[in-house]
Structure 1
């Protein structure tokens, strides 16, 4: 398993691209392309009494309404992969994380957890070319535009197709 480039978000953006926690500019987050309201946050207690669970390092990103982050990565065509990441809800409303590697897309509902670690999500895909664009998107439109999934520690793992066991080739 290996992190995507800056998959743990510890490579910080240039301060000129930050307006408080909001990232300003399509390429404000190093190694990522952003779209919409994406915040660069630190884990722990937040103003207003919230707590952001960031278990792998100090920093994470939060996707506002209709916001996304994406990265183009090299893979092996036809090979199976899993994207593994930490994701947490930041508000009491239902939150969904849409993960896509065209032509495949999936929506992952984020649960209310009673721990500080958030969810660990694994999402699989089959590479249709040697270069793919991985996108994490918040499709929801919540009452509070500051609500949205908190993402941390995005990694990828290559898998090999299972082979039939001896005597079970049919």
Structure 2
């Protein structure tokens, strides 16, 4: 058989771009789940380490590091304290001003994404983590501005010493983003002291389908909280949603957390009692954190009905953290200038009550707000913070004939 060399070359020219295209797609494909080496289990080359301290900026596979960063192993001690590793056997500790960065490709320009990761405080009460998402330089025009948020770590919500956090951003540029996590140090003098981070994952955020919203006649976005940040499988602690000030992007589409340094917890039906569907929000910070949504489609003077479920997460949340002997929880809801309070007393075993407000819009937009009226911890004396669950929220117009009866 005679082989035509020119035919082979032409075939190679066709096949090679196809191979490169397939390889590029394999690298850039982004799905809901862990980031590349998101739990740091891919051990670094010891030539790029100085003991447990990361010496090379590319020593950690998938990440670029800067500053004093330590590879922490499960069970490692800091004085008399045993350091906890949220996922697997290894994690990173970020020293004062230290940062880690990963480039994420394959994002859809203009779409929203939520980052989930675990963190534990090891030193100062004033530690915060700064998260930044910025388009990777493309060389074409001015890049979109970076998006930055600060996650307060003053409060530890669980008894295990670490919490899962979420933060959201909008994909800009060509869908290639650099995500940077930086330790904003507190008052500690030790430059090596800082939080432990682990278990990084990403999830695309979607709004409630328009056809579903129309079918329910619900004026609220994501009223069932089915859309939200990635919750790691097997994680019994949920994911914290931090306060959002000026940043319009929230890990809970449609909703924002109004607080100074406190958060709410996003929970799933696999580990908590959820009134309806698979997701809900647990208000774990008492009156210091409110969950809110502004509805700009209400008409001043028109009547509306707000309905919601206020529940018990079945996580043993039956004691008051202020030391009082009162049982049960209270959830307060506001719709514009109207309000109602729902009592929840299921002794930590699960269950929910339905709340309702019928009100006349005094202005537009109308603000819908939920807040827990008490501070609660689990009854097992672990110190884990808990609170009432809110779910299945709807805001619908009241037909004129019924609205006229409300005026009587």
**TM-score normalised by L of structure 1:** 0.92
For 1:161 and 1:96, locate their aligned partners in 2 and report how far apart those are by CA, in whole Å.
29
For 1:56 and 1:31, locate their aligned partners in 2 and report how far apart those are by CA, in whole Å.
17
For 2:160 and 2:126, locate their aligned partners in 1 and report how far apart those are by CA, in whole Å.
18
Which residue does the alignment assign to 1:62? Answer: 93
| Structure possessing the higher radius of gyration over alpha carbons | 2
For 1:47 and 1:109, locate their aligned partners in 2 and report how far apart those are by CA, in whole Å.
22
- Aligned with 1:44: secondary structure? coil
Which residue does the alignment assign to 2:170? Answer: 126
Which residue does the alignment assign to 1:28? Answer: 59
Counterpart contact for 1:55–1:117, Cα < 8 Å:
no
The yes-or-no answer on 1:71 pairing with 2:71 is no
Of stretches 83-92 and 44-53 in structure 1, the one that deviates more from structure 2 is 44-53
Counterpart contact for 2:49–2:56, Cα < 8 Å:
no
Which residue does the alignment assign to 1:97? Answer: 129
The Cα offsets for residues 108-153 of structure 1, whole Å up to 9 and x where unpaired, read as: 0113436225011010111113100000001225312121111010
Check 1:59–1:71 CA distance in 2 against 1; reply closer, same or farther (3 A cut).
same
For 2:118 and 2:179, locate their aligned partners in 1 and report how far apart those are by CA, in whole Å.
15
Return the structure number with greater strand share: 1
Q: 2:44 aligns with which of 4, 13, 19?
A: 13
Give 1:35 deviation, angstroms: 0.6
Counterpart contact for 1:81–1:127, Cα < 8 Å:
yes
Gapped regions of structure 2 (runs ≥ 5): 1-31, 135-145, 220-296, 298-408
Give 1:163 deviation, angstroms: 4.1
Q: 2:190 aligns with which of 144, 149, 153?
A: 144
Check 1:6–1:110 CA distance in 2 against 1; reply closer, same or farther (3 A cut).
same
For 1:55 and 1:117, locate their aligned partners in 2 and report how far apart those are by CA, in whole Å.
9
Q: 1:161 aligns with which of 190, 207, 216?
A: 207
- RMSD in angstroms over aligned alpha carbons? 1.7
Return the structure number with greater helix share: 2
Gapped regions of structure 1 (runs ≥ 5): none
Number of paired residues?
A: 170
